Amino acid sequence: MIGTADGIFQNLAAGVRDSAFRVRFWDGTERTYGDGDPRFTVAFDSREALDAVLTLGSLGTGEAYMEGALDVEGDLHEFFRVGSHPSVRSPRLGTRDKAMIVAAYVRNRNTLRKARENIEHHYDLGNDFYRLWLDEGMTYSCAYWDETCDGDLGAAQRAKYEHICRKLHLRAGDRLVEFGSGWGGMLAHAGREYGVEGVGCTLSTQQHEYASERFVAEGLHPRVRSELIDYRKMEGTFDKFVSIGMFEHVGREYYSTFFEKVRALLVDGGVGVLHTIGREREAGLDPFISKYIFPGAYLPTIGQLGDSMAEAGLVMTDMENLRLHYARTLDSWAERFEARVEEIRDRFGERFVRMWRFYLHGCSSGFKWGDLRVFQITFTNGLNSALPMTRSHVYVR
Amino acid sequence: MIGTADGIFQNLAAGVRDSAFRVRFWDGTERTYGDGDPRFTVAFDSREALDAVLTLGSLGTGEAYMEGALDVEGDLHEFFRVGSHPSVRSPRLGTRDKAMIVAAYVRNRNTLRKARENIEHHYDLGNDFYRLWLDEGMTYSCAYWDETCDGDLGAAQRAKYEHICRKLHLRAGDRLVEFGSGWGGMLAHAGREYGVEGVGCTLSTQQHEYASERFVAEGLHPRVRSELIDYRKMEGTFDKFVSIGMFEHVGREYYSTFFEKVRALLVDGGVGVLHTIGREREAGLDPFISKYIFPGAYLPTIGQLGDSMAEAGLVMTDMENLRLHYARTLDSWAERFEARVEEIRDRFGERFVRMWRFYLHGCSSGFKWGDLRVFQITFTNGLNSALPMTRSHVYVR
């Protein structure tokens, strides 16, 4: 077993630039792979842990890491960089494992009832938990690290909201609808800075309560409000639409439903911004992320978005790929998470801490070296010829 | 016959906002449709002309207009606005007409030999002809009407080149390759303003000769040069790629070939800009345009571009839809065309003048009210994490 693994690790070290790492096997044997100083040591406490990594890809690795059967000493980020090399990224799953993954996706399909369970699974871990390591504005999506934010997470999240408001060409009195309004950061910004009338929906009770209190505290209620409701149940007429980091939870089979709903809510020529993680090529969600972090989630391609939006009569006017902005956001979250890790461990236990650490670092590596992207798409409902001809209003005030 | 047409025109006038027009039939009868002052009069010189319009859509209308069997007195642009209403835009073609259109597309498929014929058909009409009404830089693609160009076509074309150079993040010494380099405007700008090494290809002998002389005259040769060659025959290694208004001539069945070639020419992480007319939903090219103006042409959707680029390993980083910029460009060309129409008529005859008039106004209306778009797409060959994180370098210097 160690012999087989030895060859695999040698090939890996040869294939990845500037990689050197050490492996400690369960019998105490240590081997070093690659040239230079090793940046991390992977320790396997059993033959089974090694086997899980070699045969089950990210799912096996993640589970072994969660349970402590696999540990990474040193630079965890570097471990993911090496691990995201194409030669190890495709798990050699058998038919049975593949069938289980598909079955899990189907089981978690976002029907009205299941969508609520899927959302509660992650977002109702508790406002106290997210408050520990999110920015002060409680934003849980990719920030926008422009020149103004000086490396500060809160500033980068505000810059993101401002960036989107400019793309939306928001004006006082605009009626703005948001799908997946979370803890209310976007609507609070748009309500405060642009004087819009805003309504958002979320399926997380804790997010809804937090957002509602926030809108009252900021004096924005009832002009700005949150509803605890599925996006498919939203009603009304709106000038502008926004959705940030929610489309990942919609699921492939509901894209038409989603965009038809957007079209039905927007006035003719209404403007929208859709901000979502995506990828170039169609693929299932990472099995570890799907099982432990985001059940029911699915990431769109540009091709799928282009076709689905067109089908609903929406006109894509702009697309910005914010890939590295999400890597930097996740790195910031991981750092803040570690700063409060004692409190998190006390409340949720070591397994939870390791699961989240694997998730945050793994996703960051996916944006840096893997196939994860962020598509921030501006569109109009049918044609709108009254908007500015160029995008300079987003950059020059 | 007039009775049937009468109902159709009445419905049309009722369906289009602020439309009022007059129709003069071959027997001298005149009728006015819609409320208010008529903005144009459509005159049919025969029953056959009316029949062609009603049954063959844009092809029948275009041919009748070319031959003078149909005339438009007054505002030709308004004629196209009314004519682009959904109720008249789908020609009620029979199976035989549809089959002929498909057969023509297949016949004009861009094999190496046919591609050259298709390009010569349009672009070798003569440099003297295009010089009459293009801007002084001889640019025959959508301009970029930003704040700096003050309504001047030449300035807007230079602004377009500058906009693309910034998106490409051009640096002195960059090796730039262009597919469809035309009369050399883009390469001259990039060579002069950014000090790149540039090579472009065109299939038009006249464009190639003009561009080559221009590069010598500007002192850019041999650092910047044109080749009379098919893009599929290009060889070399390049840092940057650009193609403006050429992808329309590639044809659906060659998208993989095109993007595989781009990938093969670019270094890892190389940057490209693809600028092309497109549309949201898949459709055949307008039959009139296909038959008389651009044989072998086909317009891509965002979905097709997303999928084809992904398949070749290209990462879309930015998409800007310049729809109205092309309408304004075409309007400027139409105005300049009319200013020199006597010379054009003397050389090419009245039928040619009317064909071009129909083409320029018809396309402008497609961008304003129809389904024509312009996609300006930035991409990288694989991942490139060294580029600026935001797009502000395009707007703020």
Residue of chain B minimizing CA distance to A377? B319
Q: What is the DSSP letter of B358?
A: H
For chain A, what percent of residues have pLDDT higher than 90?
77
Whether A184 shows a pLDDT value over 60: the answer reads yes
| Residues B346, A86: Cα–Cα separation, whole Å | 64
| Residues B303, B305: Cα–Cα separation, whole Å | 5
Residues of B with Cβ-Cβ distance to A324 under 8 angstroms: 385, 389
Residues of A with Cβ-Cβ distance to B332 under 8 angstroms: none
| Residues A328, A322: Cα–Cα separation, whole Å | 10
| Residues A293, A290: Cα–Cα separation, whole Å | 6
Determine the pLDDT at residue A57: 82
Q: What is the pLDDT of residues B379-392, one digit of tens each?
A: 999 999 999 999 99
DSSP string, B81-132: HHHTSHHHHS----HHHHHHHHHHHHHT---HHHHHHHHHHHHTT-HHHHHH
Q: What's the one-letter identity of residue B113? A: R
Q: What is the pLDDT of residues B241-252, one digit of tens each?
A: 999 999 999 999
| Mean per-residue pLDDT over chain B, rounded | 93
Whether B324 shows a pLDDT value over 70: the answer reads yes
Residues of B with Cβ-Cβ distance to A321 under 8 angstroms: 315-318
Mean pLDDT (whole number) for B245-262: 97
Closest CA to B200 of B169, B233, B228, B159: B228
Local confidence band at B93 (pLDDT 50, 70, 90 cut-offs): low
* ipTM of the complex model: 0.95
Contact A311 B281 (CB under 8 A): yes
Mean pLDDT (whole number) for B202-220: 97
Residue A168 and residue A196 in contact, taking contact as beta carbons nearer than 8 Å: no
State residue B380 phi and psi, 5-degree precision: -125, 155
Contact B320 A396 (CB under 8 A): no
Q: For A99-103, A201-205, A302-306, which range has the lowest pLDDT when averaged over its residues?
A: A99-103
Q: Is B369 helix (H, G, I), strand (E, B) or coil?
A: coil
Residues of B with Cβ-Cβ distance to A386 under 8 angstroms: none
Those residues with Cβ within 8 angstroms of residue A235's Cβ, 6 or more apart along the chain or in another chain: A265
| Residues A279, A300: Cα–Cα separation, whole Å | 6
Residue of chain A minimizing CA distance to B376? A318
Residues of A with Cβ-Cβ distance to B302 under 8 angstroms: 302-303, 305-307, 310, 316
Q: Residue B391: which of A317, A320, A373 has the nearest Cβ? A: A320
| Contact status of B268 with chain A (Cβ, < 8 Å) | no
Residue ranges in chain A assigned as alpha helix (H): 2-15, 47-67, 76-83, 86-89, 95-107, 112-123, 127-133, 153-167, 185-194, 205-217, 255-265, 287-288, 302-311, 323-339, 341-348, 350-368, 392-395
Determine the pLDDT at residue B91: 53
Mean pLDDT (whole number) for A49-53: 90
Determine the pLDDT at residue A115: 86
The B residues from 238 to 257 touching A (CB cutoff 8 Å) are none
Determine the pLDDT at residue A298: 94
Contact B325 A389 (CB under 8 A): yes
pTM to 2 decimal places? 0.95
- CA triple B131-B134-B137, angle to 5 deg: 85
Residue A202 and residue A266 in contact, taking contact as beta carbons nearer than 8 Å: no
Determine the pLDDT at residue A103: 77
Mean pLDDT (whole number) for B284-291: 88
Contact A302 B304 (CB under 8 A): no
Q: Could you give the dihedral angle defined by the CA atoms of residues B272, B273, B278 and B283, in that order, rounded to the nearest 10 degrees?
A: -10
State residue A241 phi and psi, 5-degree precision: -130, 145
Q: Residue B395: which of A147, A317, A392 has the nearest Cβ? A: A392
Local confidence band at B162 (pLDDT 50, 70, 90 cut-offs): very high
Residue B38 and residue B22 in contact, taking contact as beta carbons nearer than 8 Å: yes
Local confidence band at A87 (pLDDT 50, 70, 90 cut-offs): low
Local confidence band at B90 (pLDDT 50, 70, 90 cut-offs): low
Residues of A with Cβ-Cβ distance to B319 under 8 angstroms: 316, 318-319
Q: What's the one-letter identity of residue B20? A: A
DSSP string, B24-87: E-TTS-EEEEESSS-SEEEEESSHHHHHHHHHHHHHHHHHHHHHTSEEEEE-HHHHHHHHTSHH
Determine the pLDDT at residue B16: 84
Closest CA to B19 of B103, B84, B65, B71: B84
Q: Residue A303: which of B145, B307, B319 has the nearest Cβ? A: B307
Local confidence band at B194 (pLDDT 50, 70, 90 cut-offs): very high
Determine the pLDDT at residue B92: 58
A323 to chain B, closest Cα gap in Å = 9
| Residues A160, A13: Cα–Cα separation, whole Å | 38
Q: Residue A145: which of B316, B385, B389 has the nearest Cβ? A: B389
Residues of A with Cβ-Cβ distance to B144 under 8 angstroms: 390
Residue B149 and residue B156 in contact, taking contact as beta carbons nearer than 8 Å: yes
Residue of chain B minimizing CA distance to A314? B280
Residue of chain B minimizing CA distance to A311? B281
Local confidence band at A98 (pLDDT 50, 70, 90 cut-offs): confident
Q: What is the DSSP letter of B253?
A: G
Residues of A with Cβ-Cβ distance to B370 under 8 angstroms: none
Catalytic residues of A: 363
Question: What are the structural domains, with CATH classification, of chain A?
Answer: 2-89 (3.30.1050.10), 112-395 (3.40.50.150)
Determine the pLDDT at residue A107: 81
Could you confirm whether B363 is annotated as catalytic?
Answer: yes
| Contact status of B90 with chain A (Cβ, < 8 Å) | no
Q: What's the one-letter identity of residue A125? A: L
Q: Count the neighbouring beta carbons within 10 Å of the beta carbon of residue B237.
A: 11
Determine the pLDDT at residue B132: 96
Order the strands of the A40-44 sheet from edge to edge: A30-34, A20-24, A40-44, A70-74
Q: What is the pLDDT of residues B102-114, one digit of tens each?
A: 777 778 888 888 8
Determine the pLDDT at residue B87: 67
Mean pLDDT (whole number) for B159-182: 98
The pair of three-digit structure tokens given for residue B37, joined into one six-digit string: 């002052």
Q: What is the pLDDT of residues A245-273, one digit of tens each?
A: 999 999 999 999 999 999 999 999 999 99
Element (H, E) at A71: strand A70-74
Contact B321 A316 (CB under 8 A): yes
Q: Residue A395: which of B303, B307, B392 has the nearest Cβ? A: B392
Contact A146 B321 (CB under 8 A): no
Q: Is A308 helix (H, G, I), strand (E, B) or coil?
A: helix
Q: What's the one-letter identity of residue B309? A: M
Q: What is the pLDDT of residues A376-388, one digit of tens each?
A: 999 999 999 999 9
Q: Residue A395: which of B307, B310, B395 has the nearest Cβ? A: B395
Q: Is A197 helix (H, G, I), strand (E, B) or coil?
A: strand
Mean pLDDT (whole number) for A77-91: 77
Those residues with Cβ within 8 angstroms of residue B346's Cβ, 6 or more apart along the chain or in another chain: none
Contact A369 B391 (CB under 8 A): no
Residue carrying the six token digits 């033959």: A47
HSE (CB half, 13 Å, CA atoms) of A394? 23
Q: Using omega within 30 degrees of 0 as the cis cutoff, is the peptide bond preceding B287 cis?
A: no
The A residues from 356 to 385 touching B (CB cutoff 8 Å) are 368-369, 373, 383, 385
Local confidence band at A6 (pLDDT 50, 70, 90 cut-offs): confident
Residue A184 and residue A178 in contact, taking contact as beta carbons nearer than 8 Å: no
B128 to chain A, closest Cα gap in Å = 32
The pair of three-digit structure tokens given for residue A234, joined into one six-digit string: 């939203």
Local confidence band at A89 (pLDDT 50, 70, 90 cut-offs): low
Angle between helices B302-311 and A302-311 (to 10 degrees): 170
